[in-house]
A and B are shown apart, each in its own frame.
Chain A
């Protein structure tokens, strides 16, 4: 299985809602990532987990809260988002073996904040 899965594919939420994005991989990868991508822009790193510990938080607002329950799962909890947070949210994983950092992306969750 060489796939990273993300649910839901699409999400529309109001500014007062709480929702969660989910990501799963079964490749035995030990690093997982959240990226945000706006239209016609490159992915921007938000969070990195390695060995289930938060390694990087790129000064992301606290209305985004990541969670890594185990080595296969990564969640992104959303609360009190703003319309400018509307974007494609991408999850990725990488093996961390052999010093490589090849990242494999899931299909993304397209988020619209109304």
Chain B
């Protein structure tokens, strides 16, 4: 079982729709959860962090965390073509330094 799992996609949504990205993790003691966006040929860019159960909203992005189900999700509202990228889910272990990335979900937003 991989430590952090994501659907590789591609996930294709029309412009203006909601894109829903999902991630599961295996270490029940994980403390910190992150979503990074990576454009082709560029480095990862932090877009959301979440540390406690529930929802966290930042502009068009909402991160959701359910520690009991070991599940993290990212919703992107009013998707734009500029949102087309690979979205990486990242989980930091109990010690706080080791961050493990999922394989990433490729998102395409069609104009």
- Which residues of A are in contact with B by a Cβ distance under 8 Å? 31, 33, 41-45, 48, 50, 55-56, 88, 90, 99-108
Instruction: Please give, as numbers and ranges, the residues of chain B lying within 8 Å of A56 by CB-CB distance.
Output: 97-98
Instruction: Please give, as numbers and ranges, the residues of chain B lying within 8 Å of A55 by CB-CB distance.
Output: 97
> Is B42 a contact of A107 with CB atoms below 8 Å?
yes
Docked Cα-Cα span, A111 to B45, in Å, equals 20
In the complex, which of the residues B44, B96, B103 contacts A41, with contact meaning CB atoms closer than 8 Å? Answer: B103
Docked Cα-Cα span, A107 to B92, in Å, equals 22
Instruction: Please give, as numbers and ranges, the residues of chain A lying within 8 Å of B102 by CB-CB distance.
Output: 42
**B51 CB to nearest A CB, Å:** 7
- Residue ID in chain A nearest B89 by CB atoms: A42
B43 on the A face (CB < 8 A) = yes
Instruction: Please give, as numbers and ranges, the residues of chain A lying within 8 Å of B88 by CB-CB distance.
Output: 42-43
Docked Cα-Cα span, A108 to B92, in Å, equals 21
Docked Cα-Cα span, A96 to B102, in Å, equals 22
**B31 CB to nearest A CB, Å:** 8
What 7 pairs between A and B have smallest CB-CB spacing?
Answer: A42-B101, A105-B43, A48-B97, A101-B92, A108-B43, A101-B32, A105-B44
B contact residues, total (Cβ < 8 Å): 23
| Contact code string B39-59 (vs A, CB < 8 Å = 1, else 0) | 000111110010100000000
Docked Cα-Cα span, A103 to B106, in Å, equals 21
**A33 CB to nearest B CB, Å:** 8
Known contacts being A42-B104, A102-B34, is A31 close to B97, with CB within 8 Å? Answer: yes
Instruction: Please give, as numbers and ranges, the residues of chain A lying within 8 Å of B36 by CB-CB distance.
Output: 105
Known contacts being A100-B32, A100-B49, is A43 close to B44, with CB within 8 Å? Answer: yes
In the complex, which of the residues B51, B99, B100, B103 contacts A103, with contact meaning CB atoms closer than 8 Å? Answer: B99
- Residue ID in chain A nearest B36 by CB atoms: A105
In the complex, which of the residues A42, A50, A102 contacts B49, with contact meaning CB atoms closer than 8 Å? Answer: A102
Instruction: Please give, as numbers and ranges, the residues of chain A lying within 8 Å of B45 by CB-CB distance.
Output: 105
